[in-house]
Amino acid sequence: MEPKFLVDFMLGRLCKWLRIFGFDTEYFTSLNKNIIVYQSLKEGRILLTRDQRVSKNKALKVLLIDSDNYEKQIQQVLKELNLKVDPEKMFTRCCLCNTLLEPIEKEKVKDKVPSFVYQTQENFSFCFTCQKIYWPGTHWDLMRNKYTQIQTAR
Ligand SMILES: [Zn+2]
């Protein structure tokens, strides 16, 4: 089964990257430890935290993140949980809100994307929660390159 994550407020960039990889990742902004523990247990999510005290909670599946550097954090998560990033699943989730993206017809995004993008791209996807439109392009290429960099640095 695919692992699901709950990421604490100190790990925003890690959270965004896990979503880019296609992992179901919720972001937790509250400082209330009881709620974070409750949500992690209730939804069966692996808690990723920088908080040593929370990480000692034996009831939880939890990984204490060592570094402040997000590239090192990504490396740690992939390595210690023995995860592989599936290229097919990259860019299937909204990196802002975790919603699975839906394909959307090109005609429907005509007035919503820059005309250069509309002219050069064929495939668009859409987040129904935050109404954001995504398309493959330079941004995704940059992300892919960054990921390759992170991976080879292991
Ligand atoms: Zn969204």
Instruction: Please report the DSSP string for 111-123 in residue order.
Output: TTS-HHHHHH---
Q: Give the list of residues 6+ apart from residue 69 with CB closer than 8 angstroms, or none.
A: none
Does 45 or 2 have the greater pLDDT score?
A: 45
Higher-confidence position of 16 and 137: 16
pLDDT in tens, 27-86: 988 878 888 899 999 999 999 999 999 899 888 999 999 999 999 999 999 999 999 999
Distance 58 CA to ligand 1 centre (A): 33
- Grade residue 139 by pLDDT with cuts at 50, 70 and 90: confident
User: If you measure from the C-alpha of residue 96 to the centroid of ligand 1, how many angstroms do you get, rounded to a whole number?
Assistant: 5
pLDDT at 154: 58
Q: In which domain, by residue range, is 57 found? A: 4-89
- Confirm whether 97 is domain-assigned: no
Give the total number of structural domains in the chain: 2
153 CA distance to ligand 1 middle (Å): 30
What's the CA gap between 79 and 54, in Å, rounded?
Answer: 21
pLDDT tens-digit profile of 101-111?
A: 999 999 999 99
In a domain, 69, yes or no: yes
Residues 82 and 125 in one domain: no
Q: How many angstroms does the Cα of residue 91 sit away from the middle of ligand 1?
A: 12
- 8 with 71, same domain: the answer is yes
Whole-number Å distance, alpha carbon 89 to ligand 1 midpoint, is: 16
Residue 70 lies in a domain: yes
Question: pTM of the predicted model, to two decimals?
Answer: 0.91
For residue 45, being part of any structural domain is answered with yes
> Which of 38, 68, 89 finishes a domain?
89
Q: Rounded to the nearest whole angstrom, what is the distance from the C-alpha of residue 132 to the centroid of ligand 1?
A: 6
Distance 134 CA to ligand 1 centre (A): 10
- Record the tokens describing residue 104, joined without a space: 């959307």
User: Is the same domain home to 76 and 142?
Assistant: no
